[in-house]
Amino acid sequence: MTRTVLRGGRVLDGTGALPADGDVAIEHGRIAEVGPGLDGDTEIDVTGRTILPGFLDCHVHVVFSGVDPFRMQHEPFSYQFYAAARNLAATVDTGVTTVRDAGGADAGMKKALSDGLIEGPRLRTAITVLGQTGGHTDGWSASGETVRLLVPHPGRPDMIVDGPDEMRRRVRELVRAGADVIKICTSGGVLSPSDDPRHGHFSPEEIEVCVAEAAAAGLGVMAHAQGTAGIKNAVRAGVHSIEHGVHLDDEAIELMLARGTWLVPTLIAGRALLRDVDTGATRLPPAVLDKARAVTAEHLASIRRAVDAGVPIALGTDSGVFPHGSNLDELALLGEAGLSPVDALRAGTARAAQLLGLGDELGTVEPGKIADLVVVDGDPLDLTGYGKRITEVFQSGHLVRSR
């Protein structure tokens, strides 16, 4: 038995406590002990730095490497899977040790990670994204051509469903394909060419069928929901989390509080997308670009209202819409939305683990938990440039990154 001790630093354990001096001992891939003056067979000096739980990102797309539709039309189908290996490695590099993929990654990618064929964070998968005809997952354009962001394959069912019966069947297909969560679009979106983010999508009955079928298989539902009507319909139907939440009003916030619905803001997504357009890294149709600008202007104010009201927040980024590896830039934006530094960090650790159903194993630095840990240089309560200050990343007690 080898006992490794991270010695000489401080611990910010994710429980809501402030940083305190202490060591962390690791045995058999788990946290064995936390406290001062610990001994081990191997010691790693982290003097002047702080140990935190590994971060969790509750909304990524690992098969996307930016969403330039012109480029994506000319990439071979299998290219996305090789790119995903690079994207997963960039994600763990930045200190994110667990992600929930919100559409794209399939069971094969999850197995490749668990078997050690590729490296990256622990992976929870939605596999595909369900939307209605003319909705956020419909790539139909005015020319009559269709450009799909996620092309179906044997392990990834089609995205478009209409009516309760189709919804029921498609959710069952996703359960069969190994989904850990079901992703549904109850409003329009930005990147889809022919819809409006403010409009609600799917009937209440369709959403209720989705939630019921997922629940029958022990799964929750995450809802892409930007418009107010789509948010309310999703919450009333019993979805587990609202993704984006761009146009929240008081009634929507009250519903979320009453039902314990989580909010995953993805504040960085719109800003990063517009940045990439401005630098020429991404090309978007004018109508899509107009939507991106309009959504970004409203988004932060909406999330501030939710934070003020006490809606439970978990970190998510929509990485893949923009390049992977800047996930922890979301922390500073959560601070802008009104979360304290400790609460913003909890949103990316303990709270995110709770949302994903992993709170018994991950998200805090406590004895018995899996030793997914990061070490950060500088002030751990300074949320700026966080990913660049991560010096070590551990998964199950193994040092996987060291700068």
Quote the percentage of the chain above a pLDDT of 70.
Answer: 99
Q: Write the CATH number of the domain with boundaries 3-53+363-402.
A: 2.30.40.10
The residue that leads in pLDDT, 15 or 293, is 15
pLDDT digits (tens, 9 = 90+) for 91-104: 999 999 999 999 99
Q: Which of 170, 146, 150 is nearest to 62 (CA)?
A: 150
- What pLDDT is attached to residue 216? 98
Mean pLDDT computed over 361-381: 98
Average of per-residue pLDDT values in the chain: 94
Is the pTM for the entire model greater than 0.85? Answer: yes
Q: Where are the domains of the chain?
A: 3-53+363-402, 55-355
3-state secondary structure of 242: strand
Q: Which CATH number fits domain 55-355: 2.160.10.10, 3.20.20.140, 3.40.50.1220, 3.40.640.10?
A: 3.20.20.140
- What pLDDT is attached to residue 195? 84
- Is pLDDT of 152 > 80? yes
Instruction: Name the β-bridge partners of 131.
Output: 160
pLDDT band at 354 (very low <50, low <70, confident <90, very high): very high
pLDDT band at 68 (very low <50, low <70, confident <90, very high): confident
Pairing of strands 96-101, 122-125: parallel
- Is pLDDT of 151 > 80? yes
pLDDT digits (tens, 9 = 90+) for 229-262: 999 999 999 999 999 999 999 999 999 999 999 9
pLDDT digits (tens, 9 = 90+) for 189-225: 887 777 888 899 999 999 999 999 999 999 999 999 9
The three state secondary structure string of 23-74 is EEEEECCEEEEEECCCCCCEEEECCCEEEEECEEEEEECCCCCCCCHHHHCC
Q: Which two tokens stand for residue 319?
A: 């990485």
- Is pLDDT of 319 > 70? yes
- Is pLDDT of 11 > 80? yes
- What pLDDT is attached to residue 1? 67
- What pLDDT is attached to residue 125? 98
pLDDT digits (tens, 9 = 90+) for 267-291: 999 888 778 777 777 777 777 777 7
- What pLDDT is attached to residue 71? 81
